[in-house]
Amino acid sequence: MTTRYRLDDLLIDVPRQRVERDGVLLDVGGLSFRLLEFLLEQGQRVVGFDELIERVWAPAVVNEETVTQRVRLLRQSLGDDGRNPRYLRSVRGRGYQLCVPPQRIDDTSGDTTLRRSAKRNPVYVGIAVVLLVVGAVAWWLQRGDEQHAQPPSPLLQRAAYYAGIGQRDDNERAIALYRQRLQEAPDDRDALVGLSRAFSAQVCLYNGEAAQIDRAQALAERVIAVDPNHAAAHAAVAYSFDCRGRIDDALRGYERALSLDPSNDGARASAAYLYERRGRLADALAANLAVRDPSRARFLQIQIAANLDLLGYAAEAETRYRRSFQLYPDNVFSNLAWPSFLMRHGRNAEAQVALDEAMKRGTDHAGLHLLAAELAWARGDRDAAWREASRAAELRPQGSFARTVLWSMSPVQPPAHLLRARAESLRAGLRAGSDPFDGLDAALLLAMIDDRDAAIVALSDAVAMGYRDAAYLRATPLLANVRRSPRFDALIAAIDTAIAREREAVRARKLDVSAAP
C-alpha cells in the first residue's frame, strides 16, 4: 500500500509523519500533518471547509476560522506563501487545493531518500505558543501610528503578520523584518514598538535571553520620549514589565495606554489579566466585559471563564472552558484550561481524558506536561510524573515553577539549604511586587524540606498579594503535606473572605455574568 508522497520538492512519509525538503526534515506534526495527509489523499480536488472539519477535526467542533489558522500554520511549516503559493492554494468561496498533483511513491520503487536523510537530520520540534495576556498583538502592530499619513511599509506588514502567528521561528522572522525596516527608517515608531514587543515575546514566551527585555523597554521608551501620547509604546513598555513579573508597573503601563486609546482592546484584555493576578476579580471581569470587539481579543472566553471560576461561578466557567476546548483545538491555552479546570475541581479522571485529547492536538506546552505530572503523581505513578515534569522543565528551562516541580518529584533533591535559599529569594521578590504565584513556588520548595509552617507563611504572602485560587490549593498533590497543617484552613478562609468581597463588588457594579460574550 502506498504510504509516501512527493509534492513538488517535498517528500512525505505518512506512517512516520515525516516531511522533508532537500534532505532537511521540516517541523510538520499534529493537526498540521493530519491536514496535509488528508489533502494528499484528495489529489488536486478542491476540498471545502465542511469536509475538512468533518474529516480532520471531528469529533471536535470547530469553525472556518480554526481551519484557516491551521492552514496558515501548515504553510509556515512548509515555507509556503499564501499570496504566491507553491504547495497549497486557497480557492475563494470553496476551500483549499494542492497546487500540484501529489505523486505516490511505491514502497518498492527504491526511493530511499527519506530513510537515509531521516537518520542524519534531527527533528526540530517547534512550540506553538500564543500570548494570552495580550489578546490583540497582531491588531496593535497592524493598526500603526494614526499620526502617520503615508501607507504602512510592506516590511512592517510582514513583520506584524509573523509576530501575530505566535511561534518562536515566526517571532524571529518578525524581529529580522523590523530590523530591516529600521535600517531604512531609523525613527519609524511602528517599527520601534513592534521590535520592542517582539523582543519581549522572545523572553516571555520563547525562553530568550533576559537582556532582550532591557532592549524592549529601551525601544518603547525611545518612542515615548518623542511622542508621550503614543498608546502602543506605553503598552509595549507595560509588556516588558509584564515579562519581568513587575505586575504593578505593567498595570500602570496598560492603563496609561488605555487612557490614551480607549479602543485598544489589547491593552484592556492585558490589564484584565493582571487585575486577576492581583486578586481584583471584579475589575478583571468588568474590563473583560468592556472589550468592544471580542474578535480582537481572541482568548477572551478563557479570561472570562477564569474570572467566573475564581468568583465561584463554576457552572458558568465550565460552559466557557468546554466550549473553548471544542472550538479552538489549535489553541494551547484552550487545550490547557479545560483539563486544568477539571483537575482543580477534583475531577481527575475527566481531566486525564481531556488532557490526553489535548496532547494529540500538536500544541506542546510546558503547562500541559506539568498538569500531566500532577495527575500522574496523584494516581501514584511516580515514573510517569517524573517524565512529564522533566519534559516541562525541558520546554521551559527558565521557568522556576517547572524546575521546582521537577525537584519535588526527583528521587534525589537539592540540599535543604539551597531549597530554603531559593524559597526566600522568591518570597523577597513577591514582597517587591512579583507574581503571587511565586508564593506557591516558594511553598512547594519549603514543603520539600518538611517546613510546613514556613510553607503556610509563603502561601499567606501569595494570598496577601492577590492569589485567589483556593480550588488549586485544595486539589494539587504537590501541596498534600502542607494541607495537613492546622493553619491551612485559615488560609483558605482568608481567600474565601476576599472572594466574597469581590462577588459583592460584581453585584454592586451590576456586572451581568450571563451576558458575557
Place of cell 509576530: 163
Place of cell 469536509: 51
The model's pLDDT over 416-438, given as tens digits with 9 standing for 90+, comes to: 999 999 999 999 888 888 889 99
The model's pLDDT over 222-261, given as tens digits with 9 standing for 90+, comes to: 999 999 999 999 999 999 998 888 889 999 999 999 999 9
The model's pLDDT over 256-309, given as tens digits with 9 standing for 90+, comes to: 999 999 988 888 988 999 999 999 999 999 999 988 877 655 578 899 999 999
Q: For residue 517, what pLDDT band results from cuts at 50, 70 and 90? A: low
pLDDT of residue 166: 61
Place of cell 537518520: 119
Q: For residue 210, what pLDDT band results from cuts at 50, 70 and 90? A: confident
pLDDT of residue 298: 59
- Average pLDDT on 183-212 reads 87
CB-count burial class (<10 Å; 0-12, 13-18, 19+) for 207: middle
The model's pLDDT over 79-123, given as tens digits with 9 standing for 90+, comes to: 888 778 889 988 887 889 998 889 887 644 444 333 333 333 322
pLDDT at 342 over 90: yes
Specify the higher pLDDT residue, 135 or 182: 182
The model's pLDDT over 449-474, given as tens digits with 9 standing for 90+, comes to: 999 999 999 999 999 999 999 999 99
The rounded percent of the chain whose pLDDT value lies above 70 is 87
- Average pLDDT on 408-420 reads 91
Residue 369 near residue 392, CB atoms below 8 Å: yes
Specify the higher pLDDT residue, 117 or 203: 203
pLDDT of residue 61: 67
Cell of 338: 479545560
88 forms beta bridges with: 98
Which pTM does this prediction carry?
Answer: 0.69
Q: Which of 72-76, 165-169, 208-212 has the lowest mean pLDDT?
A: 165-169
- Average pLDDT on 462-488 reads 95
The model's pLDDT over 138-194, given as tens digits with 9 standing for 90+, comes to: 334 444 433 344 566 888 888 887 887 666 778 888 899 999 999 999 999 999 999
Q: What is the DSSP letter of 12?
A: E
Q: What is the DSSP letter of 18?
A: E
pLDDT of residue 112: 37
Q: For residue 207, what pLDDT band results from cuts at 50, 70 and 90? A: low
Average confidence score pLDDT of the chain: 84
**116 membership: H or E segment, kind and range:** helix 113-120
Q: Which of 132-136, 217-221, 411-415 has the lowest mean pLDDT?
A: 132-136
- For residue 180, which of 216, 155, 161, 146 has the smallest C-alpha distance? 155
pLDDT of residue 258: 93
Domains, the chain, ordered by start: 4-120 (1.10.10.10), 137-277 (1.25.40.10)
- For residue 311, which of 279, 348, 342 has the smallest C-alpha distance? 279
